[in-house]
Amino acid sequence: MYHLRLKGSHYEMGVKRGKIFNSHQIAFPLLLDDFQLNHGRQSEKILKTHYPEVCEEIRGVSDTIGANYLYLAAWMLCMGCCMYNLEDNIPLEIRGCTAFAYSKNGKVIYGRNNNLPPYLCDTSNSEIYAPYGGNRFYITTSSFINGEEGLNEHGLAVAMTFVMTDLKRIQPGFNSCFVVRYLLEKAHDTKQALSLLMDLPIASNCNILLADKSGSMNVVECSPAIKKIRGAECFDNDKIICTVNSFISDEMNPYDDAHGNDYDSHKRYNTVIDSFSLGKIKDNCIETTKQLLKGSYGFMCQYDEEPDFETVWSSIFDLELLLIYRAEGDPRKKKFITDKRLHDMKQ
């Protein structure tokens, strides 16, 4: 996993990333068919309307590596949405992730297992952003510029999980990974993030988890047609919310096109909720959350029988202290390291 720090204008940050790509001789197979290219071009117009700064960052990369800007932007906007010709494109669709947040005894903790083909472990990024005019934030991604999860300087955590979408339902708009990046940079708390998210056109099915240091937390179950805000489950004075690769709300079930092919989403969801309700998450929140992510309390990351699929990283965020604990690989085999970069930046 690469650990980057980016600061300055968005174009400057894109140029810096482009120079890194050039120095490592990294090229991208920008292989899009007519459907993908049309989707990407229309989505880029929407991205530019709502988030022109990130388009400048993409342009900084494209100018530096000598790629066509619009083609690069289109390719990135197809990720996690309609990148179905996967044998020729990287990264693969994100399908096997579990994310949750909980409030217990005054602590607000976020956790995630990010499950992907194992070769993406080494090419994933853990990045600190300090953009001019925006929030400073940490983001973890198997791609670049956009991301699967993150935490910003105000103690707001944002994360996505993939939900399968029939191609006929896909519409131009933000893919889930650009939603994560946008909300980290623009929002201060869950309430503001919800307001911003409800105004965004969404390209395909996804879940967006939001949690802030005050303990306010929601999951927004998103499709191109409708969004549903789901609240946390309460147990005594504590509460928890979880998202996997399916919709939990009955109202959203008709939009889920996975038909059960979702890497045991419901098993993972039940493991998280049951671990909390049965008191396995104790006052030593970080350590017991590590055990949850390792699968000590039930099925979470035990994909030993799945070919070319495993947990490529696990994360825990302390939303008040802005501390990140990350295992770079299967958490049963890799130690969690403490990442203080965002904490130190805020200090």
Strand 107-116 to 310-318 pairing? antiparallel
- Within the chain, residue ranges assigned H as helices are 10-23, 34-50, 52-65, 69-78, 120-123, 176-186, 190-198, 265-277, 285-293, 341-346
Predicted pLDDT of residue 91:
47
Predicted confidence at residue 83, as pLDDT, reads 79
Q: What does the pLDDT read at residue 180?
A: 98
Q: Does domain 98-346 have CATH number 3.60.60.10?
A: yes
Closest CA to 281 of 264, 258, 297, 299: 297
Please tell me the predicted confidence (pLDDT) of residue 118.
66
pLDDT in tens, 139-198: 999 889 999 999 999 999 999 999 999 989 999 999 999 999 999 999 999 999 999 999
User: Residue 90: is its pLDDT beyond 50?
Assistant: no
pLDDT tens for 10-56 read 999 999 999 999 999 988 777 889 999 999 999 999 999 999 999 99
**Segments of the chain assigned to CATH 3.60.60.10:** 98-346
Average pLDDT over residues 115-127: 77
Separation between Cα atoms, residue 73 and residue 30, nearest integer Å: 10
Mean pLDDT of 90-115: 84
Tell which residue, 173, 137, 172, has the closest CA to residue 158: 137
Q: Name the residue among 56, 58, 69, 36 with its Cα closest to residue 172.
A: 36
Pick the residue with more confidence: 130 or 80?
130
Query: Do residues 313 and 296 lie in contact, with contact meaning Cβ atoms separated by under 8 Å?
Result: no
Q: Which has more confidence, 7 or 94?
A: 7
299 versus 101: the higher-pLDDT residue is: 101
Quote the percentage of the chain above a pLDDT of 70: 94
- 3-state class percentages of the chain: helix first, strand second, coil last, to nearest 5: 35, 25, 40
* pLDDT tops 90 at residue 134: yes
Question: N- to C-terminal Cα distance for the chain?
Answer: 25
Distance (Å, rounded) from C-alpha 255 to C-alpha 166? Answer: 9
The predicted model scores a pTM of 0.95
List, for residues 313-347, the tens digit of each pLDDT value.
999 999 999 999 999 988 999 999 999 999 999 88
Residue 122 has pLDDT above 50, yes or no: yes
Q: State which H helix or E strand residue 303 sits in.
A: none
Q: Would you place residue 87 in the very low, low, confident or very high pLDDT band (cuts 50, 70, 90)?
A: low
Tokens of 278: 């049965």
User: What mean pLDDT is reported for the chain?
Assistant: 92
Alpha-carbon Rg for the chain in angstroms = 19
